[in-house]
Structure 1
Amino acid sequence: METKATIIRKYAEATLETKVDIICKYYPQIDGIINARIAAMKYIIWEEKEKNRRVDYGELGVRVQSRNGYSDPTGNEASFRANLESAIRKCDFSGDILEGIDNSEKIIEEAYILKDMMEIQHLYELQVDCRVSEERNLFQKYLNQEMNLTDIASSCGIEYHSAVKKITKIRKSVKQEITEILEVASCHVGTK
């Protein structure tokens, strides 16, 4: 099985059509792949920020409150982490959220890749939802790995080969519709 990083890297290097294929192939895992990578990015950023903060204060370990004033390190951390997740998901790194981070360009680039994955997955779901109810139910069960081709053939009372054709036809149609949407959208980016 491919690692999350490998899937994301393949996606980043893929053509529009191949991106749609990747979303289809890893459909049940896409949310988990995206969420796991965002969690890892948050951890990496937080740890680097903390390391830099300790270095700035000349600390060797955990800092103890030394002045009179209100301090809520746990609340500050929770707030920062929530803002960080939102920044990654929305690709909005305004303010100082990545200040002092060594590879901030790489983080921003990966955030855009993850955002693109989320958007294409959402498009995929919408296109699947547009299918006639029987096709939609079968294809969703196939995508979510609730039914394999043998199960589909059995439930529809058709031969295995016909089930393969049926799923291939639906997949091809969904892919074509999404690819057309993406091609039209990419033609309009930056135009007025």
Structure 2
Amino acid sequence: MNKSKHTEPLLSTQQAADLLGVSLRTVQLWVEKGALDAWKTPGGHRRVTQSSVERLLLKNQTQPVDNSVRILLAEDDELLKQLYSLQIESWDLPISLQSVTNGIAGLLKIGEWAPQILISDLQMPELDGFQMIRELKLSPRHENMKIIVVTALTDAEIAAGGGLPESVQLMRKPLLFSDLKDRLEKLLQELR
């Protein structure tokens, strides 16, 4: 956005983060991906238009109301993503499933769609699962989100990547979908 053409109220990235209930880094990622309108001051600080923050807030408030639990799948392997979708949708559980291929898209979708459960790989392009989960844990808005990590990484590799918060449930690849179904059924009971 060009400052000289600007006439509407502006917010700092921290003000936008506070209003949206997300971390400062999440707002920065949303700006970089175009989900929020912003420009940089001569000093290099971002200013976010108040109208783009209000649009995102309104979008979150006008989500269709249904009784299904929203699950976001973050997986960059297209074939594996399709297999997850086919399996999960065949279980006839009260869920709505959407998917993304990296952590940046994951943070954007979480901000827009507010899933209650995240199923994530750790090794993804652009922003990996480790970084995405760290960003989510910075925001009180997402403290009740249930997170399941499905990975082929060893415990040592997970530790080298910065580890995972205790609240994150870990499942290993190759994944038995019956185990995932059991885990999801338990989480659905907790959420209801």
- Higher helix proportion (structure 1 or 2): 1
| TM-score normalised to structure 1 length | 0.26
Which fold has the larger relative contact order, with Cα–Cα distance below 8 Å and residues 6 or more apart in sequence? 1
- Higher strand proportion (structure 1 or 2): 2
